[in-house]
């Protein structure tokens, strides 16, 4: 053995933990640098294993509904307008701003009471939205009656 004394070996658990940290940092870096996915990044924040386990065990119809809402590719007016399937993009509830997941979850004044009932906050901020349980977002979608139209 060549090197300074005393020799201290690095255990396999230490190496595994370093690799896990490096992998987590790389995944987060990739998520932040990838283009597009504005709504998904806003609603989900970063990678969360606990949320992933909850979402992946949802029944198929709830899973589809939640993912469509997360990515904004659903029957919300803004998306339909972008595809040429709606004549205007404004919100069906307040008719003030384009209807997007962000608008409904954070800014729409017409759904304040329903937002409080489902999410526990009248006007949640971005950090609050990123840490919401998927069940709360699903409850909000059901309260608004968007489950039939999404």
In a domain, 48, yes or no: yes
In a domain, 75, yes or no: yes
Q: pLDDT by residue for the chain (150 residues), tens digit each?
A: 566 666 677 888 888 999 999 998 998 888 788 887 777 877 887 777 888 899 999 999 999 999 899 888 888 999 999 999 999 999 999 999 999 999 999 999 999 999 999 999 899 988 888 888 899 999 999 999 988 866
In a domain, 49, yes or no: yes
The length of the chain in residues reads 150
**Which pLDDT score, from 0 to 100, does residue 6 have?**
67
- What the block records as the tokens of 25 is 């940092």
Instruction: Count the domains in the chain.
Output: 1
**Which pLDDT score, from 0 to 100, does residue 74 have?**
87
> CB count, 10 Å around CB of 100?
21
Q: Could you tell me the residue range of the domain that residue 70 belongs to?
A: 37-144
In angstroms, what CA-CA distances link 104 with 3, 71, 91, 115, 122?
Answer: 62, 14, 8, 9, 11
In a domain, 15, yes or no: no
């Amino acid at each position: 053995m060549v090197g300074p004394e005393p020799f201290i070996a690095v255990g396999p658990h230490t190496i595994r933990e370093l690799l896990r940290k490096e992998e987590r940092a790389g995944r987060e870096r990739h998520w932040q640098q990838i283009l597009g996915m504005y709504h998904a990044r806003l609603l989900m924040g970063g990678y969360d294993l606990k949320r992933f386990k909850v979402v992946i065990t949802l029944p198929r119809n709830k899973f589809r509904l939640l993912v469509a809402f997360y990515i904004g590719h659903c029957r919300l007016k803004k998306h339909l307008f972008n595809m040429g399937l709606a004549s205007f993009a404004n919100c069906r509830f307040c008719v003030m701003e384009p209807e997007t997941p962000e608008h409904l979850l954070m800014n729409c004044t017409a759904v304040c009471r329903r937002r409080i009932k489902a999410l526990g906050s009248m006007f949640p901020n971005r950090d609050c939205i990123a840490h919401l349980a998927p069940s709360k977002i699903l409850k909000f979608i059901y309260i608004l009656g968007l489950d039939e139209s999404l």
